[in-house]
Every structure is written in structure tokens, then in C-alpha cells.
């Protein structure tokens, strides 16, 4: 069994299917003592609402103790201590698990070799956001989709998206299809099926994963038109031949990648993704700590 979840490379199809199954079975339990007396340290060095709150709630509902540090918390990071030294010092306090969100300033692979505790990646730069990809697939399974039938179109700023990169990996492990729809300047570096026409992309897919443009990761300024080119509105969704699922990892920039009116689209599952996040994160906590 893999120790950490930094990306999916060390996770087998069976490991991943077990986490998905566990996320459904624990849905019957509001609270559990499965991880009682275990302690988690949450280090959120980048902003987060969904991931941070769902990991905190997941820890509480598993009866864990958790301690949180953010960039803004008045830690010794203010005094010039490095992120790596921060993790090493907290590891010396012997928690059972780290949950870390960070940009490229910290290498999660390298730090995982230096500490004893497992790491759950809660979003690492533009590289990987594995629990997000798992919760996306769980959301579609909850809607009755077979994994092998999923054809997910990932739309927008694919190049900078850790969610897209995690889906590229997860789709190979679990056997679903992924394609991207993006302008040239936002295409990923790896080979992946790509559309440039919105209608062609939608016609191929049965789920559209819309992405926020990650302005904080852009090295140059782009024209507004680049961001609105593939915007989905209720009208476009209603004319989608496949009437697929509308997804977004959040946060949504309404008026950019999505029009405000998509809220009333009947197959909008954006908030259901958020709900799935809680169960996936509880399941991941149990998996890396070796509990069923």
C-alpha cells in the first residue's frame, strides 16, 4: 500500500478503487472513531476554501486531532524560516500525518523522503491535486456513471491546472477518457486529445470540467478574449447534444469561464463535487493511516 498520496504514480488501480468504495461506504457514518487519537498537521501555504475545510471536517469526523498552519498565521516563516525547515521541525513533534497545500516553493516528493509521516497532497503548484480528481470521479459515479464510460472534456487553462494533470494520471489508472479544450497558450506539455472548437469538444464528451484561469501562475498577461472564448452559458449547455454533467473544481470566476445563469442547468454538479470531497478525504485519511 502506498504511504503518501502526492500523485497517483505509486497507487494501483486496486488502491484507487478501494478509496472510491470506502468513500461510499463511510457515507453512512456521520462521525467515526476509526482514527481516534491520530493527529494530522494541515499546512496550507496557498489559499483554499474547499480543500482546507473538507480536510479539517474529515479529520474531525474521523475523531482525529488536527493542527493548522497557514502562511498568515504568524509563524516563524515570517522570520525567514524555509518551508522545508518548517515541515522538518513539525515532523519532529511526531504527528501521524501531514496534509499540505503549497506552490512550487516546496517539493513534496523530496520532503516525503526526509520525514517518517505520510503526506496527503492538498494541491501542489500546477503539478497535482489528487484528492480533487478522485472526488470528481466519485461525483460522476454517484450519478450512476460507469468509470469506463466517462468522457471528460477539461476546458480552459489546462497548462497551469493541477486538477487537469491529476486527471491525466488518474484516467490512465482507472480507464476513463480525457480530452482538453484550450487555446494554444494554455495547452499542456504532454500529448493529450485536444479540441479547439467548443461544439466539437462538447459533442465528444459527457462531462465538461471547466477550469478557472490561474492568473497567479501566468508569467505574461493575456487578453480577456482568451479567457472568455470557451465560456459556457445556460443556452450553450441546453443545446449540448449529450446534455452532459457540468463540473468545476472551484473557485468559479462567474462571468469568465461560466456565465452566471449556469446555476439552473439541471446537470450542474459543482456543489455535489464539493460534497464528494468530504467523503474522499475521509477515505484517503483512513487509507494512508491503514484503517478500513
Which residues in this chain contact ligand CP in the complex, by CB under 6 A? 48-52, 123, 132, 249-251
71 burial level (CB within 10 Å; 0-12, 13-18, 19+): middle
Supply the minimum distance, in Å, between the C-beta of residue 28 and ligand CP: 25
Q: 233 CB contacts (<8 Å, ≥6 apart)?
A: 258, 259, 261, 262
* Residue closer to ligand CP (CB basis): 52 or 165: 52
Tell me how far, at minimum, the Cβ of 260 lies from ligand CP, in Å. 19
Nearest to 171 by CA among 155, 195, 147, 154: 147
Q: Distance between CA atoms of 37 and 21, rounded to whole angstroms?
A: 24
Q: How far is the CB of 137 from ligand CP (least distance, A)?
A: 14
In whole angstroms, how close is the CB of 53 to ligand CP at the nearest point?
Answer: 8
CB closer to ligand CP, 55 vs 240: 55
Q: How far is the CB of 249 from ligand CP (least distance, A)?
A: 4
- Distance of CA 235 to CAs 231, 250, 260, Å? 11, 21, 11
Alpha helix positions (H), the chain: 13-25, 50-61, 83-91, 108-114, 130-142, 162-174, 198-204, 224-228, 234-238, 270-288
- Of 23 and 48, the one with the shorter C-beta distance to ligand CP is 48
Q: Which is nearer to ligand CP, 123 or 195 (CB)?
A: 123
Nearest alpha carbon to residue 205 among 184, 188, 175, 180: 180
Nearer to ligand CP, 52 or 61 (CB): 52
**Phi, psi (rounded to 5 degrees) for 26:** -80, -5
Minimal distance, residue 14 CB to ligand CP, in Å: 26
d(CA 51, CA 47) in angstroms, rounded, equals 10
Q: Which is nearer to ligand CP, 251 or 290 (CB)?
A: 251
Using DSSP's 3-state secondary structure scheme, residue 66 falls into: strand
- Give the nearest distance from C-beta 60 to ligand CP in angstroms: 17
Nearer to ligand CP, 209 or 262 (CB): 209
Amino acid at each position: 500500500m502506498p504511504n503518501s498520496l502526492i500523485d497517483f504514480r505509486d497507487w494501483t488501480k486496486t488502491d484507487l478503487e478501494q478509496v472510491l468504495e470506502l468513500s461510499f461506504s463511510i457515507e453512512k457514518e456521520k462521525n467515526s472513531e476509526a482514527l481516534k487519537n491520530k493527529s494530522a498537521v494541515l499546512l496550507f501555504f496557498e489559499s483554499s476554501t474547499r480543500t482546507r475545510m473538507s480536510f479539517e471536517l474529515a479529520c474531525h469526523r474521523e475523531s482525529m486531532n488536527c493542527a493548522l498552519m497557514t502562511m498568515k498565521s504568524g509563524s516563524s516563516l515570517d522570520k525567514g524560516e524555509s518551508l522545508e525547515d518548517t515541515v522538518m521541525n513539525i515532523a519532529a513533534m511526531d504527528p501521524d500525518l501531514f496534509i499540505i497545500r503549497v506552490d512550487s516553493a516546496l517539493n513534496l516528493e523530496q520532503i516525503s523522503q526526509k520525514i517518517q509521516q505520510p503526506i496527503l497532497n492538498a494541491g501542489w503548484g500546477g503539478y497535482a491535486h489528487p484528492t480533487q480528481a478522485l472526488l470528481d470521479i466519485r461525483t460522476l459515479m454517484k450519478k450512476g456513471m460507469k468509470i469506463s464510460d466517462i468522457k471528460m472534456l477539461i476546458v480552459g487553462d489546462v497548462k497551469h491546472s493541477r486538477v487537469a494533470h491529476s486527471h491525466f494520471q488518474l484516467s490512465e489508472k482507472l480507464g476513463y477518457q480525457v480530452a482538453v479544450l484550450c487555446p494554444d497558450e494554455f495547452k499542456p506539455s504532454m500529448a493529450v486529445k485536444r479540441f479547439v472548437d467548443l461544439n466539437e469538444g462538447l459533442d465528444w464528451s459527457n462531462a465538461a470540467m471547466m477550469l478557472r484561469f490561474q492568473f497567479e501562475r501566468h508569467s505574461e498577461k493575456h487578453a480577456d478574449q482568451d479567457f472568455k472564448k470557451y465560456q459556457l452559458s445556460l443556452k450553450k449547455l441546453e443545446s449540448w447534444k449529450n446534455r452532459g454533467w457540468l463540473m468545476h473544481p472551484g473557485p468559479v470566476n462567474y462571468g469568465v469561464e461560466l456565465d452566471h445563469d449556469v446555476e439552473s442547468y439541471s446537470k450542474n454538479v459543482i456543489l455535489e463535487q464539493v460534497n464528494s470531497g468530504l467523503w474522499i478525504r475521509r477515505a484517503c485519511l483512513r487509507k494512508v493511516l491503514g484503517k478500513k
